[in-house]
Structure 1
Amino acid sequence: MDLFGDLPEPTGEILKHSNTNGSSVDGLFGDLPSPSSTKKMTENLPAKRKIQDEEKQETKKPALGLYQLHGYYYARKGEREMMQDAHVINDAFHKTVANLHPSIHRLAYYAVFDGHGGVRASQFSAAQLHQYLTAKLPKGDLAQVEKEIKRCLIETFKKTDEEFLKEASKHKPSWKDGTTAITVLAINNTLYIANLGDSKAILCRYSEQNMRYIAVPLSKDHSPTDYEERMRIQKAGGYVKDGRVLGVLEVSRSIGDGQFKTTGVISLPDVRRCQLTDNDRFLLLACDGLWKVFTSDEVVQKIQANIHNDGAAPKEKQVVPNYEGICGKLVNEALRKLSGDNVTVVIVDIQKGEPNQ
């Protein structure tokens, strides 16, 4: 069942992002049945059909052939007074979650937070968001988790924002820190991407049609200049000047930024889904310090050039490249190109085979 429908399935090519207003939670769940409608559908099924469906669900065998995921990173302060980025790499997130259903063989979690106005919002999010996610993760089998994971991620971001703002308000003067967020949760072989602001995630996928690796965008920027974002800000009593909220804040969604919450800046993430395939080589998350000077395709081609395997089909990959060194080269080149910002890059290698338990 396709819960999101906005990213290519295993045999598909890149699709355009769907336009999501994000002004209400209900709007994000137009593609999911409500609990009441699901119950009615079940009640209307013949008894024999219900029994068959239940038996199928109970006897469903777990998926085999998990891809190995292993994360690497590099980060530098750049020209800013302090390093305000934070990141998380957890290849074995499932080990921290109790009572997982046997149908869930692997959880992995990756995140990059690009702070502004201070380091506290990004550091708080890096330390706490996945903890809140653990507490809110749906119970039950894989089908139940897939059904509820979108709402879970939205509630997790909301909880992180609320808890940080509570902490910020305890101090005099109140903390003004804020942060963007790009997170990827891997459940078995499916990626769930949630983001706020202008940090991005891309997937490097081999295109049979183009006979080369291409960049699949996994996130959508939240800029005050976007029509829907600007309309929400204006309806809340704010305004956009010089591409910024109130002429100050460069993003229209974030964690923290308490002083802007009454002017339309929200913590509601876009949530997207993508199924991993044999054509996928790596996942990349980075703050806007990288994207200010490189396009997604440029990043993919630069990494491929460093791997010395440009254009090769996925079946030919054998040795894991030095991704940590490649991350460093990307960050350093971005700074040499006068990015003028902190730069953090996380690369997640994708390989066939069972992960280490």
Structure 2
Amino acid sequence: MDLFDDLPEPKQTPVPVSAQQKSTREEEEEEEEVKEEEEKSLKRKREDAERHADKKEEEEEEKEEIKKVCREGLPVLRGYVAARRGEREEMQDDHVMLPDMSSCMSALPCQVSRVSYFAVFDGHGGARASRFAAEHLHHNLAKKFPSGETENLDKLVKKCLLDTFRQTDEDFLRKASSQKPVWKDGSTATCVLVVDDMVYVANLGDSRAVLCRMEAAGGGGGGGGVGGQRKVVTLALNKEHNPTIYEERMRIQRAGGTVRDGRVLGVLEVSRSIGDGQYKRCGVISTPDLRRCQLTANDRFIILACDGLFKVFSADEAVKFVLNVLQEGSVEKRSGVTEEEVRFEAACQQLASEAVRRGCADNVTVILVSISF
């Protein structure tokens, strides 16, 4: 006898249809709630993004407005250039004038409205180093120039200039050493970088930059003095580098070089330069001397020139020569050019020509930068 005969067979209790429908409906409601939450979240993100974009746009507009206001108080700079070959067989000087460098730069620091760049390069041993520096130095400068939110802009600009000169020198030496025969060219470099109203001068070698400032006869910086008289002040904006200067000579001697007849190894006339690969082991370096000066409403112009000019002109003489031309009575009027521009152009050309007339046999390159507020 089977012990389990009397036990009923197990029966499945069917789930009521209404319960299944209820379960499905709950799942659908939950899915709808999740979708609604996701849509709300996306909407919030979109709104936040739009608010952020609007805020950023407002900030950019505010910065542009600030820059516009700043720009209105900035000095207006115009560059004029004159170049003479002199008695040399080849023109080994080069130059660059960029009254507005913004076209070379991706972005400027927030507090800066304008950057201007003027440079003279005096080549020796050939024109390749001066040409290379003229073509590449300002591009290296543009790449390394600070941008965005910056603190201590002055320190960053100076570091940028030091890095730029080192990079340009290294690039040229790399190219020069790959040639057959190896290039032995070198070049001085004197660069005037104007950041809004602050002038930075970076210099290698013996080219010079001088500023003409008109001060009150009593020595103050503001008024016109007694009877409106003003005195001319010539400010040297850079220090020259030649082997006869004590610090330069000591560095060359410590590096194992010698100074004979005022030249490195009796040959090279400058103690800092771009290129000159064969003299780099003798203490000739590419680290520029850096100076800065803030422009004022009393400033009239900057003369930036190679040593060809200053062999026959002192800095004071050059400034007074330019002032005399600017103050001459009549000028030839030209269409689309202001009288002041005609005068500055004439002053620049006459200064270079006078250097040749005075017996300078070297190349002469002069950049004259007018300053007006």
TM-score by length of 1: 0.77
Does residue 129 of the first structure (1) align with residue 137 of the second (2)?
Answer: yes
Match of 1:345 in 2: 366
Match of 2:81 in 1: 73
Alignment check: 8 A CA contact 2:117 2:193 kept: yes
Amino acid aligned to 2:190 = I
Does residue 270 of the first structure (1) align with residue 278 of the second (2)?
Answer: no
**Structure 1 CA distance for aligned equivalents of residues 149 and 194 of structure 2:** 15
What is the CA distance between 1:99 and its match in structure 2? 2.2
Does residue 214 of the first structure (1) align with residue 208 of the second (2)?
Answer: no
Alignment check: 8 A CA contact 1:104 1:142 kept: no
- Equivalent position to 1:284, from 300, 303, 318: 303
Amino acid aligned to 1:345 = V
What is the CA distance between 1:143 and its match in structure 2? 4.2
TM-score by length of 2: 0.74
- Among all aligned residue pairs of Structure 1 and Structure 2, give the percentage whose two residues are the same amino acid: 52
Match of 1:105 in 2: 113
What is the CA distance between 1:61 and its match in structure 2? 5.5
- Equivalent position to 1:119, from 123, 127, 147: 127
**Structure 1 CA distance for aligned equivalents of residues 73 and 150 of structure 2:** 16
Residues 177-216 of structure 1 mapped to structure 2, 5 A cutoff = 177-208=185-216, 209=218, 211-216=230-235
- Equivalent position to 1:300, from 309, 319, 339: 319
**Bigger relative CO (Cα 8 Å, ≥ 6 apart):** 1
What is the CA distance between 1:146 and its match in structure 2? 2.2
Tell me the secondary structure at the aligned position of residue 101 of structure 1.
coil
Segments of structure 1 that go 5 or more residues without pairing to the other structure are 1-57, 311-317, 353-357
**Structure 1 CA distance for aligned equivalents of residues 150 and 303 of structure 2:** 25
Match of 1:169 in 2: 177
Match of 2:164 in 1: 156
Residues 315-354 of structure 1 mapped to structure 2, 5 A cutoff = 319-352=340-373
Alignment check: 8 A CA contact 1:113 1:181 kept: yes
Match of 2:244 in 1: 225
Question: Going by fraction, where is helix more abundant, 1 or 2?
Answer: 2
Number of aligned residues:
288
Q: Deviations over 1:156-185 (max 9, x none)?
A: 000000000000011111100000010011
Tell me the secondary structure at the aligned position of residue 350 of structure 1.
strand
What is the CA distance between 1:95 and its match in structure 2? 2.5
Alpha-carbon RMSD across the aligned residues, in angstroms, is 1.9
In the TM superposition, structure 1's runs of 4+ consecutive aligned residues that sit over 6 Å from their partners are none
Segments of structure 2 that go 5 or more residues without pairing to the other structure are 1-62, 220-229, 330-338
What is the CA distance between 1:274 and its match in structure 2? 0.6
What is the CA distance between 1:321 and its match in structure 2? 4.8
Match of 1:249 in 2: 268
**Structure 1 CA distance for aligned equivalents of residues 66 and 353 of structure 2:** 46
